[in-house]
Amino acid sequence: MNLTYFLFFLAILFGTLIITYWASQREKTTRQFYVMSSGLTGMQNGLAIAGDFISAASFLGVTGSIALNGFDGFIYALGFLGSFLPLFFLIAEPVRNLGQYTIGDVIYFRFPEARIRLLTSMSTMLVSMLYMIPQLVAAGLVIRFLLHVPYHLSVLIIGTLMVIYVVFGGMMATSWIQIVKTILLLSGAFLMVLILLSRFHWNVLAIVEQIPEKSPLSDRFFRPGQLFAHPVDALSLHLSLIAGTAALPHILVRFYTVKDRLAVRQSVLASIWLIGLFYLMTLILGFGVVLLVGTSPLVAMDPSGNLAAPLLADALGGDFFAAFISAVAFATVLAVVTGLVVTATTSFAHDIYNHFLKKGKATEPQQLKAAKMAALIIGTFAIGLSLCMQNMNATFLVSLTFSVAAAMHLPLLILTLYWKRFNSTGAVSGMIAGFAASFICVLLGPAVMDPDHGLIPHPAIVPLEYPGILSIPAAFLAAAAGAWLSKPHSDDARFRLLRFQSHTGIRLEPKDF
């Protein structure tokens, strides 16, 4: 085991545990556990959203994708960043103004039916779990390589830590871990960019000019078509990323951690700038990997390219700097999986336990106990699945996560907030159809069906790794058809109240409309 790497990982571990202990001393109520009593400022929440959003896949994967696939690898960053436009203009403020803790609150506001809250909560936990597992799998593989710790032990360590953070620290510990992680990640990436540019005398054009000479792609490095052979694939990926990211529950729940809609706007704007700056740096870092590391050594170390950033850090600053960047990647994994666990936990304790099982009559101590038990169970279940999926294609789970989130949640939110004719039948139809379409498309796609390396040794029937171009329209059509073909079970007064409160944040009663 490399002692330098181990010491940096140990520093991250102790730092996050200190934050958790500090948070546990201040967490006394369910509101503090769920959303830390809306105590974050807009800038702090923007940092936390960036921490929730920039996963290890973004830091490690995008850099490696650019190095291996040319400028086309940047398409992931563009899709992720573009997802904040519908989030900012259509979803963020209404979600904050209508709900208290979860997406289920928003949908229940329009359709006060127990089945709607239950189904929305189950979809929230499903998406969180699907996203959690590949993060744990990837983290286990990276830590195994960097520290030479067995995969199973790596997953157990990370999984145990995420459960501790949520059980003892709740949203407060999760938020501050994400804030610290974002500062460390941006600082580390910025330092890498500065060192890289200094190697080339601060001449970006010199870097761009040398890329074709060093890359196996040669002049094709900056041409489209290296990542996807057909434009439909690229369009489908963009649609999946934009729609899926804007509907991820662990991103939406962050809008409850600020006090008002002005802070929501500040949060989104701050996160857009931070995430945009980060992805711009990943582009430069991807170029640096080609020039200073080389694609052949990168592929020899890891064919997926996920070790691009640590290898570049080693080339720029030696073992010490590489250890720091790897420890930041470790903190990135911890922050993201902790955010996913607290989101799933809140949804279970608030929507299912309190409102569905206890009919809204559970006491605060009961809700807090249920939330902590849920965190323990969900975390244990995620660890167990991750231990069994070491050799499974993580692309399958990531594809399914974004497809399910985009198809189940985005049509539900958009139609609930903006379509007067929409009803509960349409909501249920859209969610079920969205999940079914996503699951079938991914199951029949290249992530699962491949003659050589697939789970099913057969040519793919649906030739799209990200089937958003099929599943998202199918979910919208099913939701609209369900609403039109059923009785107009829509409450005009409640919809008018929803429109008023979603835009103003002023809480009134349906009788006033």
What the chain holds in terms of domains, given with CATH numbers, is 39-512 (1.20.1730.10)
Cα torsion angle, 244, 280, 313, 192, sign: negative
**How high is the pLDDT of residue 397?**
67
Instruction: Report the distance separating Cα 311 and Cα 329, nearest Å.
Output: 13
Instruction: Report the distance separating Cα 76 and Cα 73, nearest Å.
Output: 6
Model confidence, pTM: 0.89
DSSP string, 230-257: SHHHHHHHHHHHHHHHTT-HHHHGGGGS
Rg (CA), the chain: 23
Residue 261, CA atoms < 13 Å, CB-side half-sphere:
17
Distances (CA, A) of 187 to 53, 183, 254, 487: 17, 6, 23, 56
Only one residue has tokens 């979860």, namely 102
What residue type is 69 in one-letter code? N
Do 421 and 483 meet the contact criterion of CB atoms below 8 Å apart? yes
Residue 454 structure tokens: 């697939």
Q: Is 303 helix (H, G, I), strand (E, B) or coil?
A: coil
What residue type is 248 in one-letter code? L
Proportion of the chain above pLDDT 90, given as a percent: 26
Instruction: Report the distance separating Cα 95 and Cα 414, nearest Å.
Output: 11
Q: Is 258 helix (H, G, I), strand (E, B) or coil?
A: strand
**How high is the pLDDT of residue 267?**
92
Residue 332 structure tokens: 């990135």
Residue 15 structure tokens: 């730092």
Mean pLDDT of the chain, nearest integer: 86
**How high is the pLDDT of residue 332?**
82
Residue 164, CA atoms < 13 Å, CB-side half-sphere:
17
How far is C-alpha 65 from the geometric centre of its chain's CA atoms? 18
**How high is the pLDDT of residue 394?**
57
**How high is the pLDDT of residue 323?**
87
Long-range contacts of 153-157 (CB under 8 A, 24+ apart): 155/383, 155/386, 155/387, 156/383, 156/387
Number of residues that this document lists for the chain: 513
**How high is the pLDDT of residue 154?**
84
Torsion of CA 165, 166, 168, 174, to 10 degrees: 60
Q: Is 326 helix (H, G, I), strand (E, B) or coil?
A: helix
For 8-40, b where at least 16 C-beta lie within 10 A, e where not — what string?
bbeebbebbbebbeebbeebeebbbbbbbbbbb
Weakly modelled stretches of the chain, pLDDT under 50: none
Instruction: Report the distance separating Cα 275 and Cα 54, nearest Å.
Output: 7
Local structure of residue 91 (DSSP, 8 states): I
